[in-house]
């Protein structure tokens, strides 16, 4: 991979937060700061990452719970797919209103579309729109890695019974939208352990 990846579980339902750091510079990215902002910020400091932006795989509360504090501390742009943008400013849509801790964030700085490239240092990630878990769910692909959010898990896929979810769409995303992602790609999901596309194509019943 062109960058190193540090992952750890954050927030009330153990979402994976990822910190990426370009191998040739200190530039990096935070993906899904779902909670425990102090933990995320101290990891950033420890790694010596110069964070360029915060990228979100989708707008659910468990992936944005630490966003407010991390953004405040780093003062960098927040990126999310255009169809999930409103979730940041709506405690019902990001589901936090239903878990007893309503959370609303500032609006996103950049609304992403399928095929956008986001770069940091010498690295870049391509936005692959993968609706199904939410309308604006995306995977970030680059440097031999896929950050698959709640679209693809090791051996499973994300729930589709939340507003905006669709089983048909998530299966289309998994089988068709991710079809060109090479088998050697490491998969870093929004929850649970990492995997590879090869393992998922061979063993995941949803493929």
Determine which residue in the list 116, 150, 169, 200 makes contact with Zn ion, applying CB under 5 A. 150
Residue 60 binding Zn ion, by CB under 5 A = yes
Tell me how far CA of residue 134 lies from CA of 13, 28, 74, 192, in angstroms: 17, 26, 27, 19
| Burial readout 11-36 (b: 16 or more C-beta within 10 A, e: otherwise) | beeebbbbbbbbeeeebbbbbbbbbb
Contact track, Zn ion, 175-204, x by CB under 5 A: ---------------x--------------
**CB nearer Zn ion, residue 41 or residue 64:** 64
Q: Shortest gap between Cβ of 137 and Zn ion (angstroms)?
A: 8
CA terminus-to-terminus distance, the chain? 25
Tell me how far CA of residue 74 lies from CA of 30, 50, 195, in angstroms: 10, 9, 30
Contact track, Zn ion, 4-33, x by CB under 5 A: -----------x------------------
**CB nearer Zn ion, residue 87 or residue 123:** 87
Binding site for Zn ion (CB under 5 A): 15, 60, 62, 150, 190
């Amino acid at each position: 991979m062109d960058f190193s990846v540090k992952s750890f579980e954050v927030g009330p339902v153990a979402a994976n937060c990822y910190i990426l750091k370009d191998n040739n510079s200190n530039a990096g990215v935070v993906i899904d700061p779902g909670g425990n902002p102090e933990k995320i910020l101290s990891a950033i400091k420890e790694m010596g990452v110069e964070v360029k932006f915060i990228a979100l795989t989708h707008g659910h509360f468990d992936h944005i719970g630490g966003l407010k504090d991390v953004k405040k501390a780093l003062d960098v742009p927040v990126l999310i797919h255009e169809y999930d943008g409103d979730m940041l400013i709506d405690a019902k849509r990001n589901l936090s209103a239903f878990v007893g801790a309503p959370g609303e964030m500032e609006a996103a700085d950049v609304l992403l579309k399928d095929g956008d490239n986001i770069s940091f240092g010498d690295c870049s990630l391509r936005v692959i729109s993968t609706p199904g878990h939410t309308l604006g769910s995306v995977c970030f692909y680059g440097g031999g890695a896929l950050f698959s959010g709640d679209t693809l898990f090791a051996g499973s896929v994300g729930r589709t019974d939340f507003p905006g979810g669709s089983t048909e769409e998530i299966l289309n995303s998994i089988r068709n939208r991710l079809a060109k992602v090479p088998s050697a790609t490491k998969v870093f999901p929004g929850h649970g352990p990492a995997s590879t596309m090869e393992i998922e194509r061979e063993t995941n019943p949803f493929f």
